């Protein structure tokens, strides 16, 4: 791996073990085997490293949603929603231990929120993406036009986030089959709420 990839991998490991707040750039650079000065040649700050960890070291939820927005109407809705939910479960299970310490102090959360806003990132992005996908399906007549895409997206991703919270809190690593089953159940439940058209 090149230095950039080494740094992202080291950051992912430290953030998962110690949380975002305790993962200093100095510690990340040391774990990667590079100087802190080299780290700053690749990344503006720790927030940028954090975002790279989320996008490069975690399952690609954003990529799944973007693909489905582009291909709306091509595959069965249940399969698409199940894919979103399964991706969200993996994403939140991977990112929850990393991001939870951002809430350790008001100052850290404020600084993190402001930095994310600067780069157009933040926790609302997945909800907006899923809502946009569902809106596309409404436009295609595959979901009842009275359905509320944002509410449905919030419910789906909220359920995934809460499951990740419980697993993290209880130190449980769920089996793949359990996550597959949960994804299917959540997708079918969402579809019943969206009142799928024949």
Contacts of residue 176, defined as CB under 8 A and 6 or more positions apart, other chains included, come to: none
Contact 140, 73 (CB under 8 A): yes
Residue 2: Cβ within 10 Å count: 7
What is the model's pTM? 0.82
| Predicted pLDDT of residue 95 | 84
Model confidence at 167, pLDDT cuts 50, 70, 90, reads: very high
Angle at which helices 3-18 and 46-56 cross, to 10°: 90
Cα 137-141-142 angle, rounded to 5 deg? 60
| Predicted pLDDT of residue 57 | 66
| Predicted pLDDT of residue 170 | 95
Q: Is 197 helix (H, G, I), strand (E, B) or coil?
A: coil
Adjacent-strand bridge partners of 196: 143
Cα 105-20-160 angle, rounded to 5 deg? 95
Taking the C-alpha atoms of residue 19 and residue 15, their distance in angstroms, rounded to an integer, is 4
Give per-residue pLDDT as tens, 141-150.
Answer: 999 999 999 9
| Encoded tokens for 22 | 């305790």
Q: Is the pLDDT of residue 103 over 60?
A: yes
């Amino acid at each position: 791996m090149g230095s950039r990839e080494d740094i992202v991998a080291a950051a992912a490991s430290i953030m998962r073990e110690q949380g975002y707040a305790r993962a200093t750039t100095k510690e990340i650079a040391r774990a990667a085997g590079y100087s802190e000065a080299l780290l700053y040649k690749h990344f503006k700050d720790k927030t940028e490293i954090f975002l790279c960890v989320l996008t490069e070291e975690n399952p690609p939820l954003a990529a799944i949603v973007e693909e489905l927005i582009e291909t709306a109407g091509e595959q069965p809705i249940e399969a698409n929603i199940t894919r979103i939910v399964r991706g969200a479960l993996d994403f939140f299970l991977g990112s929850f231990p990393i991001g939870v310490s951002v809430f350790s102090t008001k100052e850290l959360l404020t600084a993190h929120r402001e930095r994310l806003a600067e780069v157009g990132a933040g926790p609302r992005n997945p909800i907006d993406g899923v809502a946009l996908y569902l809106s596309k399906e409404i436009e295609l007549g595959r979901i009842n036009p009275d359905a509320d895409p944002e509410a449905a997206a919030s419910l789906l991703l909220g359920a995934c986030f809460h499951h990740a919270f419980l697993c993290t809190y209880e130190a449980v690593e769920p089996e793949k089959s359990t996550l597959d089953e949960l994804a299917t159940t959540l997708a079918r439940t969402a579809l019943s709420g969206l009142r799928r058209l024949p």
